[in-house]
């Protein structure tokens, strides 16, 4: 939708949240908020000449059911709209159900300022978008709805070390030097990490690494072993 203005319906039961989302999106210049609703019931009764291009909605809103039911109701009422979930709900099961119900994107409210405009751009361009940290949790949890499981459980020890160094801001050549590995080996590890965490670009990988890295990790950057895995 390059060069055109995308229309957006915002659904959230907090007026201050709706106002913040409106200001954030309309500051981008390529988005117009055409309607707001405080409940699922109100949103389903919104009268618009055309379906909005995007619906930005919470999952837990007054007058609506949580998770997939909200997405399904909006998809039926606005069949041409792309649904992007913006919520405090971070349960892997809820995220997965919302995506399976037809949501094209899912991000947490705490990341709205940095993630929301890019997420909308991506889904308008035919992509799906899941906040990298959530994608990592989905990969780490598999099908389990366990909030405190290790989000990098699917990674090998070497991949975790590479991920930790990425989170610290190191480049591939720097990581190769620190771990006494070849740059090609680091690139192979990085590709494997991206696949396991469900992120597509290097930028998303670095963001996910920073978000899921252990903040109490005070280990030295120096490796404990020098051999290739």
Per-residue pLDDT tens for 101-129?
A: 889 999 999 889 889 999 999 999 999 89
| Bridge partners, 108 (sequence order) | 87
Indicate where the chain has its CATH 3.40.50.2300 domain(s): 6-130
3-class SS string, the chain: CCCCCEEEEEECCCHHHHHHHHHHHHCCCCEEEEEEECCHHHHHCCCCCCCCCEEEECCCCCCCCCCHHHHHHHHHHCCCCEEEEEECCCCHHHHHHHHHCCCCEEEEHHHHHHHHHHHHHHHHCCCCEECHHHHHHHHHHCCCCCCCCCCCCCCCHHHHHHHHHHHCCCCHHHHHHHHCCCHHHHHHHHHHHHHHHCCCCHHHHHHHHHHHCCCCCCCCCCCCCCCCC
Quick one: what percent of the chain has pLDDT higher than 70?
Answer: 79
pLDDT band at 226 (very low <50, low <70, confident <90, very high): very low
Q: How far is CA 204 from CA 80, 87, 151, 214, in A?
A: 28, 20, 15, 18
User: What does the pLDDT read at residue 103?
Assistant: 92
User: What does the pLDDT read at residue 25?
Assistant: 94
Indicate where the chain has its CATH 1.10.10.10 domain(s): 143-229
User: What does the pLDDT read at residue 105?
Assistant: 92
- Mean pLDDT, the chain, as a whole number? 80
pLDDT band at 220 (very low <50, low <70, confident <90, very high): very low
User: What does the pLDDT read at residue 169?
Assistant: 82
User: What does the pLDDT read at residue 211?
Assistant: 67
Which tokens go with 190?
């990085």
> According to the per-residue pLDDT averaged within each range, which of 13-22, 84-93, 150-159, 167-176 is highest?
13-22
Per residue in 162-214, pLDDT tens? 888 888 888 889 999 999 888 888 988 888 887 777 676 777 777 777 766 54
- The set of residues, in sequence order, having a beta carbon less than 8 Å from that of 62 and lying 6+ positions away, is 13, 38, 39, 40
Which tokens go with 155?
């990674």
Out of 3.40.50.300, 3.20.20.370, 3.40.50.2300, 3.40.50.720, which CATH number does the structure's domain 6-130 have?
3.40.50.2300
Out of 3.30.428.10, 1.10.10.10, 3.40.50.720, 1.10.490.10, which CATH number does the structure's domain 143-229 have?
1.10.10.10
b/e map 73-106, b = 16+ CB within 10 Å: bbbeebeebbbbbbbebbbbbbbbbbbebbbbbb
User: What does the pLDDT read at residue 152?
Assistant: 60
At residue 143, does pLDDT exceed 60? no
| Bridge partners, 106 (sequence order) | 85, 130
């Amino acid at each position: 939708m390059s060069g055109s203005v995308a229309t957006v319906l915002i659904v959230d039961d907090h007026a201050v949240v709706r106002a913040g989302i409106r200001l954030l999106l309309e500051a981008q210049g390529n988005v117009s908020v055409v309607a707001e609703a405080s409940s699922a019931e109100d949103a389903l009764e919104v009268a618009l000449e055309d379906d909005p291009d995007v619906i930005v909605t919470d999952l837990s809103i007054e007058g609506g059911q949580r998770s997939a039911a909200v997405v399904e109701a909006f998809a039926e009422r606005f069949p041409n709209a792309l649904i992007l979930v913006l919520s405090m709900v971070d349960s892997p099961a809820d995220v997965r159900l919302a995506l399976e119900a037809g949501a094209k994107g899912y991000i947490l409210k705490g990341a709205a300022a940095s993630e929301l405009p890019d997420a909308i751009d991506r889904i308008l361009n035919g992509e799906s978008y899941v906040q990298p940290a959530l994608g990592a949790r989905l990969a780490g949890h598999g099908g389990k709805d366990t909030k405190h499981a290790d989000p990098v459980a699917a990674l090998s020890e070497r991949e975790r070390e590479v991920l930790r160094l990425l989170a610290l801001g190191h480049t591939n050549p720097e990581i190769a030097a620190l771990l006494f590995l070849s740059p090609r080996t680091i690139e192979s590890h990085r590709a494997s990490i991206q696949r396991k965490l469900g992120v597509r670009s290097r930028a998303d990988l670095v963001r996910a690494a920073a978000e899921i890295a252990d903040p109490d990790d005070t280990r030295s950057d120096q490796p404990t072993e020098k051999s290739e895995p």
